[in-house]
Amino acid sequence: MAKRFYTFIVVPNASSRLHKVRVPMPVMYVLALIGVFSFFVAVSLGFNYARMAFKVSDYNTLQAENTELKIEKKNLEVTAKKLSTKIDTLSTLADKLTTLIENDAFIKRFGKAGVGGSTVDYRTSDILGNTRLTIEALKDQTAELENRMTLLEQLAEKRAQTIRFTPTIWPVRGRLASHFGGRLDPFTGGTEVHLGLDITGLYGTPVHSPADGIVIFAARKSDYGNLLIIDHGNGITTRLGHLARFQVKVGHAVTKGQIVGHIGMTGRTTGPHLHYEVRMHDRPVNPRKYLPAGE
């Protein structure tokens, strides 16, 4: 059986002889296989290289982003810590204000301020426990603080309102001629119960409303003479007697300190003075109870 060859004719240059190279068929097959295999290896390597190059560039970008994020996280942590400290300071301030209002002498004496409500104080450490600072925790803290501040605002508002409607100022400044309680009757010399304070002053001296309220009576009333009755709400009324004249009428809203009349000597009186009564649910109480201590 004749061997099959591939014959290659090689011409080194124009003048030289031709060289014949005879390559057997099997060798040709092997060479062709090697060629095809090499091609695929080369393509695969090129593809892998391209993929790796892409990955490296991706990795570099990610690393840069990671560094940036780490810095950002650190900054956030510092900010969160600062915020937490600030919230703690505000929380302590809210504590102090609550204590101040709750222990206020005025509220203790006439306390209708309704001090109460939830004042559960969540400390930062309670909220955070051992976990790291989180924005969620900060949000909870600020919400709690907001609630406490709102409660405090209500307390302060109620306190201001209580003061406005409580007879805490003298209607006139003058000599106290008669105290509240038992005394000698200036007319008969016998004993009687005096239901208010007698404050002497010059005839015509302005008389001020001791608190905010509504005028419910302004007319002559036997021994009282010209009598003004002011309703201050919460069961409190005041009576101002022996007035020379009125400055307000029934139904008028008056404010604390407003001039409502003038000292006179109408009714059962030995001289110009103001008869001043404070009544709680229409029972006379000592007006001094509501006046600043020491006055």
Residue type at 130 in one-letter notation: N
In this complex, which beta carbon is closest to Zn ion, that of residue 213 or of residue 225?
Answer: 225
CA distance 101 to 98: 5
Of 32, 54, 50, give the one whose Cα is nearest residue 42: 50
Q: How far is the CB of 264 from Zn ion (least distance, A)?
A: 13
In this complex, which beta carbon is closest to Zn ion, that of residue 107 or of residue 196?
Answer: 196
In this complex, which beta carbon is closest to Zn ion, that of residue 144 or of residue 198?
Answer: 198
Residues that bind Zn ion (CB under 5 A): 198, 275
Q: How far is the CB of 194 from Zn ion (least distance, A)?
A: 6
Q: How far is the CB of 170 from Zn ion (least distance, A)?
A: 15
| CB-based contact 263:272 (threshold 8 Å) | yes
In this complex, which beta carbon is closest to Zn ion, that of residue 165 or of residue 276?
Answer: 276
Phi, psi of 200 (to 5 degrees): -85, 155
245: its two tokens: 């004249």
Q: How far is the CB of 283 from Zn ion (least distance, A)?
A: 17
Phi, psi of 225 (to 5 degrees): 70, -140
Q: How far is the CB of 208 from Zn ion (least distance, A)?
A: 18
Give the sign of the dihedral formed by CA 273, CA 258, CA 110, CA 174.
negative
Residue nearest to Zn ion (CB): 275
In this complex, which beta carbon is closest to Zn ion, that of residue 198 or of residue 212?
Answer: 198
Q: How far is the CB of 268 from Zn ion (least distance, A)?
A: 9
Q: How far is the CB of 175 from Zn ion (least distance, A)?
A: 13
In this complex, which beta carbon is closest to Zn ion, that of residue 186 or of residue 206?
Answer: 186
Of 133, 125, 124, give the one whose Cα is nearest residue 80: 133
The residues near 58 (Cβ < 8 Å, ≥ 6 apart) are none
Of 73, 84, 78, 70, give the one whose Cα is nearest residue 128: 84
CA distance 172 to 227: 15
Of 187, 250, 261, give the one whose Cα is nearest residue 225: 261
CA 124 to chain CA mean position, Å: 17
In this complex, which beta carbon is closest to Zn ion, that of residue 163 or of residue 265?
Answer: 265
